[in-house]
Amino acid sequence: MSAVQRRRRPDRESGQITLLVIGFAVIVALAVAVVANASNVFMQRRSLVSWTDGAVTVAAQQVSHADLYGGSRVSTLPLSEAAARQAVSEYVGRNGLAGQFDGFQVVRVSVEPGSGRVTVEFSASVPLLAAGDVTAGLGSFTVTARSTAVVPLD
């Protein structure tokens, strides 16, 4: 028996580093997928909030002329809920929001009488970038955005 053969140990741990590298690669890939999906949901919600801010601005400009010029003194600008709903609907159509967001909905357009406050709420579905068994069948998240404007009469 030569000296080289005596020093050589049996390779009981052969291939173990390969499994470790594969495991780390899977963990890194999952972490990247989570960060990418979270960033995508955040950016889509931020975009939806921006569009909601624009819609509430349009809705806040819908003055109820009958209440404003009806003779009684008002402290806030009276808003027409029907006109606000119509203005938001036109805003959504003009800007193609249903085509920009999956499952886009106008959840609420409301005017609080006598307060000059109008609220607009939108919702949309944001698909996950890497959906499947990892996400337990969840293919998308629903995000909502609500904006409120108050129109004082000074």
- DSSP string of 52-110, one letter each residue: HHHHHHHHTT-B-HHHHTSSS--SB--B-HHHHHHHHHHHHHHHTHHHHSEEEEEEEEE
Domain that holds residue 116: 13-151
Render pLDDT for 111-133 as a digit per residue (tens, 0 to 9): 988 788 899 999 999 988 766 55
Q: For residue 26, give both structure tokens.
A: 């899977």
CB 144 within 8 A of CB 123: yes
Rounded Cα distance between 122 and 56, Å, is 11
The reply to whether 113 falls in a domain is: yes
For 115, the token pair is 């307060």
Which amino acid is it at 100?
Q
In a domain, 146, yes or no: yes
Is residue 14's pLDDT more than 80?
Answer: no
pTM attached to this predicted model: 0.75
Q: How many domains does the chain have?
A: 1
The residue with greater pLDDT, 10 or 18, is 18
In a domain, 42, yes or no: yes
Note the pLDDT tens digit of each residue in 52-75.
999 999 998 887 666 667 667 666
Evaluate whether 124 touches 44 at the Cβ level (below 8 Å). Answer: yes
Helix/strand/coil for 123: strand
Inside any domain, residue 4: no
User: Domain for residue 79, yes or no?
Assistant: yes
Residue 115 is classified by DSSP as: T
% the chain with pLDDT above 70: 75
Compute, in degrees rounded to 10, the torsion defined by CA atoms 62, 68, 69, 70. 120
> For the packed helices 81-95 and 16-59, what is the interaxial angle rounded to 10 degrees?
130
Q: Does some domain include residue 7?
A: no
pLDDT, tens digit, 9 for 90 and up, residues 83-105 = 899 999 999 999 999 999 999 99
Asked whether residue 8 is assigned to any structural domain, the reply reads no
Q: Is residue 27 part of a domain?
A: yes
Residue 8: pLDDT over 70: no
